[in-house]
Each structure stands twice: as C-alpha cells, then as structure tokens.
Amino acid sequence: MIIAALEHEQVEVIFGYPGGAVLPLYDALYHAQIKHILTRHEQAAVHAADGYARVKGKPGVVFATSGPGATNLVTGIATAYMDSVPLVIITGQVATKLIGTDSFQEADITGITLPITKHNYLVGSIEELPVTLAEAFYIASTGRCGPVLIDIPKDVMEQEGTFCYERNREIPGYRPTYVGHPGQINRMVKAIKEARRPVIFAGGGVIRSGAAAELRELAIKCRIPVTLSLMSLGAFPGDNPLFLGMPGMHGMVAANFALTEADLIIALGARFDDRVTGKLEQFASEAKIIHVDIDPAEIGKNVPIDIPIVGDVKQVIRELLKRVQPGDTSDWLQRIEEWQARYPLSEGTAPSSGKLKPQFVIREINRLTGGKALITTDVGQHQMWVAQHYCFREPRTFLTSGGLGTMGYGFPAAIGAKLASPASTVICITGDGSFQMNIQELATVVCGNYDLKVVVLNNGCLGMVRQWQELFFEKRYSQSLLHGNPDFARVAEAFGATGLRVSTADEATAALEKALSVRGPVVIDCLIDPAENVYPMVAPNRPINEIITGRDLE
C-alpha cells in the first residue's frame, strides 16, 4: 500500500536507511521501480530529501526505522519546517501492543516532532493507511509547505486490506487562502503609486510559489529596487541594476540603507527574521509596510503591518500587475546607486598577505560556471560569503539552511539536488566544521558516482563563532579552533573520490577548472586565510544601518 501510494504520487526517489521496524516496507521496496538512495546516516537522508524538494518543487520522501532511526531525523525535519520545505517522512514504529512499554527501539516520534512538523500521524490500523498517505502529500505541498511525518507500527505494515487511493483530498478545516483580498490589493496599488522611496523585500515564499517571473515584471514595470532574503536568492537576477543584494546582519550596505529610509516596503513571502530586521524598534521607521504571505500567522508577527494581504504571492502579484501604475522613483534610484558606488563589497581584507581569500574562491566558482551552477551551503562564514559574492540569476539554484542554521546540511542537500536535476552543475560550498558533520556521505556519492563537487573553505576553526569571539568577546577563542582537522583531499581519496588541496589563488583556479572538467565526485580542500571575517556586519541588536564595513578595521 505504501509503495503503491508513492507510485500514485509519482514519487521517483526515496532517501532512507533501513532497520528492524521497517523491514516489511523495505521488502516491498525490493521489487518496486522507485529509486532508493541509501545514505549513511538518517540525518543525511532527510537533508538530501530536503535538497531534492527545493530543486524539484515537490515533496521529498524519507524512510527510517523506529527509535534512533527516527530521532536521527529530527534536525533535518526542523530544518525543513523552518524553511517551509515539503517532505513526507515515513518511520517505522514498534508493534501496536508494545507502544508505551519502552520496548526495544521505541521512541514517541510523533510526540517528539509535533512542534517541527506541519502535521504528523500515528497509524493505528491498515484501514487508515491510504487516506493518511494521501492527506500527508496534500498537506505537505499546499499552503505554506512543510514536513509531514507518518509513523507506522510494524504489525500494521504486515497487515493486508483493501487499497483505494485518491489524490488531492480536501480536508475539513484545512483550506489555505490563495487569492488575495481585492480591496487590499487596491490599497497596495494606491500605495505604490504614491511612494517615492519604495523597496521590494522578497522572501522564500516567492520561490515556493513560483513567482520569480512576476517579481521581475513588477520591479521593472514600477522601477522599484529589490532586496532578497537569504532564502530567496535567485528569485531576482543578481546582475539586474535594480537588485540591492541581501539585507540584514551580513547584507549589502545599500540594501540596509534602503530599508531604513524607504517610505514603502513591499514584503512578498518574507517573514522579517531577526537577522534581517536588526533592532526591531528602529527597523524601517519611516516606511508603510505591505505584507503578502500565504500564512496568516506570519503577518504582523514580528513587525507592524499597514496593508496585510493573505494569499499566494504569485496570484497576488498577477492581480497587482493588472492595475498597478508606477510612481516616480528616479531620485530614489539615483540615491541607491550612490550608496552602491560608495560601499562596494570587500573582496577580502589585507589581500597582499598572499593567503587564499574565500571571496576569491567563490568569485572564481561564479566565473567558471557562468553563475549557472546549483549551489548548496552549510551555515557560517562560507554561507554568507556565497550569498554576497555568487551571482544567483535563477530561482531554486541556491540551497541553504536559513531558519534553523544547520551545520551538516549542505553536502547531503547537494546529493538531493543532483538527483532532482542531473544535468545541472552541483557544487557544495562548505566549511571544515560543517563538512565533518556529514562527511560519511562521501560513501553515498562515490557509490552513486554522482557528478558533484565539494569546495571546503578550510580555515581550521568554526569561523563565524571565532569572528564573534574576536569582535565581542575580546578574542577569547573558547572551543572554536578545530585542531586535528584531517586533510580533506586524502579523506575524499580514501572514500574513492577525487581529492585536491590548494592554498594559493592560482592553485584554486586550476583545481576548480579540473573539478569542473571531470565527471564524478571531487573534493577541493581550500586552505583559506583563518583571519578573514565576513563583512559587512551589523552587531547583534543594533539597527541595520549601523554597519561595520570591514574597511573601518583595515
């Protein structure tokens, strides 16, 4: 029944790891046509399914056994939940009569994951199974997407019953709003016409709804500059003159100044995360704020909203484009151009030191791929350098853990991305700390011979932790220096992948060219300047226009 339901849902790939409680399921899978990817850890399985879902735009599917198999999924589930990624996770459970007895490999996974799933189920009988599976896919992929977990006792998996499957069920009490209120859209039209200093702030909801083309049309038609959250990079072309870059703690100076001085902020599928707003009391104090989001709980949650619109971003923008008339933004755009010229991105402090700069490595990746690669990252300094220095031009080409900030996400997510888009150049840019969180997945990529490249920006420390300790804790580097790191190129070779190690700009360019010219998994261990920090930077709980540019410290 489970395999048949997945076939009805046109599932092509499953990520998982077997165990005793799911042996009946894996036995059924033995004769199925659905591809199964055996990761080397359950956390990697859920991250890989997450990466697959972000690229493919449909739910990723995960199998895991009971107890520790299920609990190993928790970080990945929370990652997907925070970033609104559709997943259907099927876990095995001990037999029904053993539930609650603390039996071998029992864990209350529905209770554990209740706060980090959009919905979850404990299946009590075979009769519930077809409806539960259909509902799970429907809930995961509609409205604000998210992970749904189905926990199935082993004895239920061994039962037989009548299978009748119906896709896309309507569920009483669950009816997401897709069409924006016409009256509120009219207010939005009026506000845009009257605005002289408007800014579009687009979030991950633009990508989830497939609204990138509509966003471009709106910005160009109305001559409104666009700033993108970390989760929406690629939703607006990074080389468009109207693009301000990312805002917030490590955002572009022009983007932060524009949000601070705007008279109108049009927030589309964004949630005003604290890393974007900085000190809330001083965020966008001069602006009227329009907020469009499919999740009504997000509107007004963090900042006061003047024009709330509940609905699907794509549909709302389409309705807006039928009636909107541009205001006069010429003076505003000129002012922004002046900020951009005055505060360009730093290409690395003290470049004459001869040490390899991470910014250079990322710019070389951008140059050699023409900005057309599919990039995944983990979390930390390398993540921010990628967001700043790689020019994303298309949606669903940047995969990162935004909300939860999960080390260990990038490498397995790249596996899922490659399976979702086999023809794409897929590159995981990671740090030495993050890579070691799921380094065992080198076995997965070698066994699958996936044409996937890993670039490790290796500074021998937990870079972002070290940066904060340098700036705010008087250089007390408590437990942030990673003594004993291996040679990642030799580790890659031990697994059967190609390994390269570089420490200069010329070596980095040559290694990247080689990696991109050969098929199969390649790991490049880049020994970067350990003293390099991420700038611009806004200190915690400070207004986003109070920016440390890096040049202040040179």
Provide the annotated active-site residues.
42, 104-105, 154, 464
Report the distance separating Cα 60 and Cα 48, nearest Å.
8
Report the distance separating Cα 509 and Cα 519, nearest Å.
18
Closest Cα partner for 456 from 413, 487, 423?
Answer: 487
N-term to C-term CA, the chain: 64
- DSSP of 432-494: HHHHTTSGGGHHHHHHHT--EEEEEEE-SB-HHHHHHHHHHSTT--TT-B-TT---HHHHHHH
**The Cα angle at residue 425 between residues 81 and 419, in degrees rounded to 5:** 50
- How many CA atoms are closer than 13 Å to the CA of 376, on its beta-carbon side? 32
Q: Which residue has the tokens 């220096």?
A: 481
Pairing type for strands 498-502 and 198-202 reads: unpaired
Contact 431/378 with Cβ under 8 angstroms? yes
- DSSP of 220-286: HHHT--EEE-GGGTTSS-TTSTTEEE--STTS-HHHHHHHHH-SEEEEES----HHHHBSGGGTTTT
Contact 63/17 with Cβ under 8 angstroms? yes
Residue 37 β-bridge partners: 15
Burial class (CB in 10 A: 0-12, 13-18, 19+), 33: exposed
Report the distance separating Cα 122 and Cα 150, nearest Å.
6
